[in-house]
Amino acid sequence: MTERSLRLERQLAFLLEADKVKQVVRRNLLSDGSRRESDGEHMWHLALMAIVLAEYADEPVDLMRVLRMLLIHDLVEIDAGDTFAYDTDAHADKQARELAAAERIFAILPDDQAQAYRALWDEFEERRTPDARFAAALDRLAPLLLNHASGGRMWRERDVSALQVRDRNILIAEGSASLWERARELIDDAVARGLLEAE
């Protein structure tokens, strides 16, 4: 095999591995409440959100970089699984599980792509750039939107309070003050409608 064909084989192997993200079931329901969403659906929805809502980023962002982050950030859940946002026990080892997954999954790629995508994943996790902060803001906003639209069922089933939702989602403000303002309105509305426990 030539070096180019070996490279292609590694890229195709990565794409087949990434396909498993469609099988990772998240805790959030679809907006109509009919079923839980997959990580693949979540990542697609975030990419669409980035395209539609890019004008609300507080700082200039490179939309293509934001999209790349959003399309790879949850690949680690192939190994680590989805961790419910309000489960403190499950968060105890979340970082270690996800780091191990990142090492394995990105290493499938050719070395140059493995390093580039791993660096992009790290950047997203650390929220150290405007691109990463905006991507992370969207990643927090999406479940909030879905929970609100689906009647707050997942919040109610787990006795999640408005304070927990505010604390979890305040980092939306790091990427977009406008989106955080709208998120706060959704939380207030959820409390008023009994979809979310008052603080």
- Element (DSSP H or E) covering residue 33: none
Residue 86 binned pLDDT confidence (cut-offs 50, 70, 90): confident
Q: What is the mean pLDDT of the chain?
A: 95
pLDDT score for 29: 93
CB 37 within 8 A of CB 80: no
Residue 1 CB neighbours (<10 A) = 8
Q: In sequence order, what DSSP letters do the residues of 103-131 get, joined into one string?
A: HHHHTTS-HHHHHHHHHHHHHHHHT-SHH
Considering the entire predicted model, what is its pTM?
0.95
Looking at residues 114-139, what average pLDDT do you find? 98
Q: How far, in Å, CA of 78 to CA of 101, rounded?
A: 8
Per-residue pLDDT reduced to its tens digit, 152-178 = 999 998 889 999 999 999 999 999 999
Say yes or no: domain 3-192 is CATH 1.10.3210.10.
yes
Tokens of 184: 């706060």
How far separated are the first and last CA of the chain, in Å rounded?
Answer: 62
Looking at residues 36-44, what average pLDDT do you find? 97
Tokens of 153: 């069922």
CA distances 100 to 15, 44, 106, 149, Å, are: 19, 24, 10, 34
pLDDT score for 177: 98
Looking at residues 122-139, what average pLDDT do you find? 97
Q: How far, in Å, CA of 124 to CA of 116, rounded?
A: 12
Per-residue pLDDT reduced to its tens digit, 58-72 = 999 999 999 999 999
Q: How far, in Å, CA of 2 to CA of 8, rounded?
A: 10
Which 3 state secondary structure label does DSSP give 28?
Answer: strand
- Return the higher-pLDDT residue of 198 and 145: 145
- Closest-CA residue to 105 (of 88, 129, 121, 89): 121
Whether the per-residue pLDDT at 87 is higher than 90: the answer is: no
Residue 83 binned pLDDT confidence (cut-offs 50, 70, 90): confident
